[in-house]
Structure 1
Amino acid sequence: MDLFSRSWTALRTAVAELPDDAFAQPSGCTGWLVRDLVCHLIVDAQDVLITLVTPAEAEPTRDALTYWDVSATPPTGEDPLDALTVRLAAAYQEPRLLKFHLDDVGSAAGRAAGLADLDARVSTRDEVLTTGDYLTTYVMEWTLHHLDLIAHLPDVAGPPAEGLARSREMLEQLVGTALPPSFSDTDALLVGTGRRAASEAEKSELGDLAKKLPLVLG
């Protein structure tokens, strides 16, 4: 819960401090500008609120790792939901409105998470998880999207080190082995999830592991 809170607070703070012209810059998500990514974060926050008030009685069907649908195909930006996000973001017209909505809904999601019973079960995407596992998935979600936010904004603060380390740990568990220790946590996440291509030197260090990457998480 502490990592969820720190990761989410850091991401919302980074968005709140962005200058208006940053919203028209590309993000690390294929086909999305920063404004589109911020709109997606608003939807994410709404999903957190909805899920936390959707209790389930059944046994968990997924946990913090198996929650993810793993693919080897990177997104193209042409998915209908991705395109809808772009239209929704454009409707805000002004960056301050995106900032306001993210702060409003995002703060509520953070408070709701802090009040949640981590052992309770919740339902989302037709699956059942404990609340603790569900919130743990968002440590990776917030961390990866924080990296997406700053992909072309080098002066903006990045995600907390603890969130990067935990996200790398989860990625390595999904891969089934550790990434080379010479990779920083940031590079491990960017290369491991296909947010950037591995350099020739990195491919050499990865060896046969390069064939398993990237893991595209959905």
Structure 2
Amino acid sequence: MDLFSRSWTALLTAVADVPDEDFERPSGCAGWSVRDLACHLVIDAQDVLITLVTPADTEPTADAVTYWEVGHTPPTGDDPLSALIPRLAAAYGEPRWLKFHLDDVGSAAGRAAVLADPDTRVSTQDKVLTAGDYLSAYVIEWTLHHLDLIAHLPDAADPPADTLAAARDLLEKIAGTAFPASFSDTDALLVGTGRRAPTDAEKVALPAVTLPLVLG
């Protein structure tokens, strides 16, 4: 629960600190600018709010690891939902309005997470899991999107070290194997999810697992 709050707060702060002129720079998400990614985070925050008030009375069917559907084809930004995001983002006009909406909805999602009982069962995407597992799953979402946000913003702050470590640990559990100790947490996340191609030396060290791990 604490890691959810730390990763989410760090991401919201990083977006708030982006100068307006940098909102048109590309992000680490294929086909999306920084502006588009910020708009996507508004939708993510709404999803958190909706899920935390959607109780379930059946046994959990997923946890923080199995919550994620794993594919191996990196997104191109051309699927209908991804293509919708730039149009929604453009509708905000000035970056300050998008920042305001993200801060408003994002802060509410953060407060809801703090108030949630981690043992409460919630339902989302035809899965039932505890609120604690659901929020733990989102640590990797926030951390990866933080890395996406700063991909072309060299002066922006990195994600917190402990959330990077937690995100790597979750990715390794999803993969069913550990990444080499020589990989930094950031490199493990970027290479493991296909956000960066491995170097020749890294290819030799990588475990025998199908990459990239595309989480959806």
Match of 1:212 in 2: 210
SS of 1:123's equivalent?
strand
Counterpart-to-counterpart distance in 2, 1:32 and 1:92: 15
Runs of 5+ unmatched residues, structure 1: none
TM superposition shift of 1:76:
1.1
- Give the TM-score taking structure 1 as reference length: 0.97
Deviation by residue 1:78-117 (Cα, 9 ceiling, x = unmatched): 1100011111001011100110001000000000110001
Indicate whether 1:92 and 2:76 are aligned.
Answer: no
SS of 1:104's equivalent?
helix
Counterpart-to-counterpart distance in 1, 2:210 and 2:134: 25
Counterpart-to-counterpart distance in 2, 1:205 and 1:119: 39
SS of 2:191's equivalent?
helix
Match of 1:123 in 2: 123
Match of 2:53 in 1: 53
Runs of 4+ in 1 over 3 A off after TM superposition: none
Match of 1:37 in 2: 37
Match of 1:28 in 2: 28
TM superposition shift of 1:174:
1.2
TM superposition shift of 1:41:
0.3
Match of 2:16 in 1: 16
Match of 1:140 in 2: 140
Counterpart-to-counterpart distance in 2, 1:184 and 1:215: 17
Counterpart-to-counterpart distance in 1, 2:175 and 2:110: 29
Counterpart-to-counterpart distance in 2, 1:122 and 1:50: 10
2:211 counterpart letter in structure 1: L
Deviation by residue 1:105-160 (Cα, 9 ceiling, x = unmatched): 00000001100010000011111110000000111110000000000101100111
Q: CA RMSD in A?
A: 0.8
Number of equivalences: 216
Indicate whether 1:80 and 2:80 are aligned.
Answer: yes
Q: Percent identity?
A: 74
